[in-house]
């Protein structure tokens, strides 16, 4: 076990204000692998003060120079790719291959995209007799989750830095080690002292202190809708800008003319990836009643391929939460066709890849975010029925539509109340805006839309 010391504040590793530590547990074997300091109000205050002091200099730095620092940061992440993957596997439990391609690969791509955007974005424009300047919002407080621990830090930090903002990050307590790695990469990239600051700590202590700090201009939070409501209330009460990336219960709609086998196989893979710990996962598969039985058989066969390949859930509490939802699904009359609440391993926070059939839209497992490897397969009568079911939750983060005709899929997707839809297995695009309708959040991340979250406008009239 390694005892990590210090917070990254004002360009240096500084001792924490208090003596408390957070134990980091490997969810695959339940062993403590490290400790990090549990930050206090004093640590958060020091970090915000450093960010405020650094703001004028960084905001005045030419965009081309900010772009160069981001490019250097991307190169630093590339050099650390294996270390990043191994660290995420150790603290999150994700299989190493997934850690390399997604947990390390996606943040590298996103950092690179913002290096390019910082260099090319029009930070001023003429409209009529005015010049409109797009200026940094100021100090950003970023509270990030454990499920994609580096990606979520980068998706907030990279656009904020590109915009000329300074940042204080409070990472999730389950996965703070990759955040410390990122801070080292920031330091080596030559990003000036105070522009990026890292405080590890518990949500109700350090996270709350960051949310309530009067020196923070924009609060960006990714996590549950319940916590997002509290963060939003704090920010609104203090008239801060807020960006919230919250929960999801996304629909995977398979229209009758689609390639059923491909749609089901990709759909199951989407839900099982990262052990189901993905806010945008397509956890509701909607199939026409004439193809329903075949789709369920295909889903069961697809789920069986995962078995030991999906890794554990992040902690014991998360495992119990997912087991509770599986038990509730059975109690409410859904038919368990794969997996179940029992763990496939003696040690580690594992849950078997689980598929439910005969799920109806009002069931708990069809309405609430489970955040585990659990798929609900629902039947629909016609396209209007499918649309009603797809839109029939409080969430609207992502989704998928499969059809024999692409235009038919697009027409359906346009009617879905959700922020992002994959058409016939469309690939992830780091430049496309990501974010939700309804209770899935406020604002967008990634690409130019993600950059504008960290900018405010000033118009000069002539």
Distance (Å, rounded) from C-alpha 427 to C-alpha 447?
A: 15
Instruction: Inform me whether the pLDDT recorded for 308 exceeds 90.
Output: no
Of the pLDDT bands very low, low, confident and very high (cuts 50, 70, 90), residue 344 is confident
Residue 47 has pLDDT above 80, yes or no: yes
Closest C-alpha among 373, 339, 391, 336 to residue 358: 336
Q: How far apart are CA 151 and CA 382, in angstroms?
A: 38
- Rounded distance between C-alpha atoms, residue 177 and residue 116, angstroms: 28
Instruction: Check 173, 212, 245, 453 and give the catalytic one.
Output: 245
Q: What is the pLDDT of residue 63?
A: 98
Confidence at residue 69, expressed as pLDDT on a 0 to 100 scale: 98
Q: Among residues 165, 173, 212, 279, which one is catalytic?
A: 279
The model carries a pTM of 0.97
Q: Is the pLDDT of residue 223 over 90?
A: yes
State the pLDDT confidence band at 139, using cuts at 50, 70 and 90: very high
343 falls in which pLDDT band (50, 70, 90)?
Answer: confident
Q: In this structure, what token pair is assigned to residue 296?
A: 């369920």
Mean pLDDT throughout 206-233? Answer: 96
pLDDT confidence of residue 265: 98
Over range 299-327, report the average pLDDT.
Answer: 94
Q: What residues have CB less than 8 Å from 141, skipping those under 6 apart?
A: 48, 167, 168, 170, 210, 211, 213, 216, 218, 219, 220
Q: What pLDDT does residue 346 have? A: 87
pLDDT of residue 309: 78
Q: Mean pLDDT in the chain?
A: 97
Q: What is the pLDDT of residue 443?
A: 97
CA angle 172, 175, 177 (to 5 degrees): 120
Nearest C-alpha neighbor of 446 from the set 457, 460, 430: 430
3-state SS class at 361: coil
Residues 49-54 have a mean pLDDT of 99
What's the Cα-to-Cα distance from 255 to each of 258, 289, 387, 419, rounded to whole Å? Answer: 6, 11, 11, 20
pLDDT tier at 345 (50, 70, 90 boundaries)?
A: confident
Q: DSSP state, 401?
A: E
pLDDT single digits (tens) 423-461: 999 999 999 999 999 999 999 999 999 999 999 999 999
Name the residue among 454, 446, 448, 451 with its Cα closest to residue 107: 446
Q: Dump pLDDT digits (tens) for 77-112.
A: 999 999 999 999 999 999 999 999 999 999 999 999
Say whether pLDDT at 280 is over 90: yes
Q: What is the pLDDT of residue 102?
A: 97
pLDDT confidence band for 417 (50 / 70 / 90): very high
Give residue 48's pLDDT band: very low, low, confident or very high (50, 70, 90): very high
Rounded Cα gap, residues 354 and 349, in angstroms: 15
**Tens digits of residue pLDDT in 244-265:** 999 999 999 999 999 999 999 9
| Residue-level pLDDT at 444 | 98
Q: Above pLDDT 70, what percent of the chain?
A: 100
pLDDT single digits (tens) 385-406: 999 999 999 999 999 999 999 9
Residue indicated by tokens 């016939």: 424
- 165 in active site: no
Assign 165 a pLDDT band (cuts: 50, 70, 90): very high
Looking at residue 217, its pLDDT comes to 98
User: Among residues 229, 251, 289, which one has the least CA distance to residue 366?
Assistant: 251
List of domains in the chain:
2-246+440-461 (3.40.605.10), 251-429 (3.40.309.10)
């Amino acid at each position: 076990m390694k005892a990590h010391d210090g917070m990254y504040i004002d360009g240096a590793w500084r001792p924490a204000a208090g003596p408390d530590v957070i134990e980091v547990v490997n969810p695959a074997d339940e062993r403590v692998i490290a400790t990090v300091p549990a930050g206090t109000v004093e640590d958060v205050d020091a970090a915000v003060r450093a960010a405020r002091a650094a703001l004028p200099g960084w905001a005045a730095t030419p965009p081309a120079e900010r772009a160069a620092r981001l490019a250097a940061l991307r190169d630093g992440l590339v050099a650390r790719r294996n270390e990043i993957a191994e660290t995420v596997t150790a603290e999150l439990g994700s299989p190493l291959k997934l850690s390399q391609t997604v947990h390390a690969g996606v943040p590298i791509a996103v950092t690179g995209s913002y290096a390019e955007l910082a260099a090319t974005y029009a930070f001023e424009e003429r409209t009529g007799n005015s010049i409109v300047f797009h200026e940094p919002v100021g100090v950003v407080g970023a509270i990030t989750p454990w499920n994609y621990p580096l990606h979520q830090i980068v998706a907030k930090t990279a656009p904020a830095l590109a915009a000329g903002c300074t940042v204080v990050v409070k990472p999730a307590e389950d996965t703070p080690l990759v955040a410390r790695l990122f801070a080292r990469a920031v330091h080596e990239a030559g990003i000036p002292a105070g522009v990026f600051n890292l405080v590890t700590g518990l949500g109700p202590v350090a996270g709350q202190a960051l949310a309530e700090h009067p020196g923070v201009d924009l609060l960006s939070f990714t996590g549950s809708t319940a916590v997002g409501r509290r963060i939003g209330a704090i920010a609104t009460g203090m008239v801060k800008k807020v960006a919230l990336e919250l929960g999801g219960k996304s629909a995977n709609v398979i229209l009758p003319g689609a390639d059923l086998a491909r749609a089901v196989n990709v759909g199951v893979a989407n839900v099982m990836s990262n052990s189901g710990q993905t806010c945008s996962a397509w956890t509701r598969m909607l199939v026409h009643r004439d193809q329903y039985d075949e789709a369920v058989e295909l889903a069961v066969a697809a789920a069986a391929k995962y078995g030991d390949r999906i890794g554990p859930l992040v902690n014991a509490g998360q495992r119990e939460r997912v087991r509770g939802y599986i038990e509730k699904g059975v109690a409410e009359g859904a038919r368990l066709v794969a997996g179940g609440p029992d763990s496939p391993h003696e040690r580690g926070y594992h849950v078997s890849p689980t598929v439910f059939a005969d799920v109806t839209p009002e069931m708990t497992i069809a309405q609430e975010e489970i955040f585990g490897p659990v798929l609900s397969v629902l039947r629909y009568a016609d396209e209007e029925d499918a649309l009603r079911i797809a839109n029939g939750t409080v969430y609207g983060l992502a989704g998928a539509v499969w059809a024999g005709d692409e235009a038919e899929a697009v027409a359906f997707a346009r009617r879905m109340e959700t922020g992002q839809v994959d058409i016939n297995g469309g690939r992830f695009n780091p430049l496309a805006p990501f974010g939700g309708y309804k209770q899935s959040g406020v604002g967008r991340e990634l690409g130019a839309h993600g950059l504008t979250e960290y900018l405010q406008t000033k118009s000069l009239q002539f």
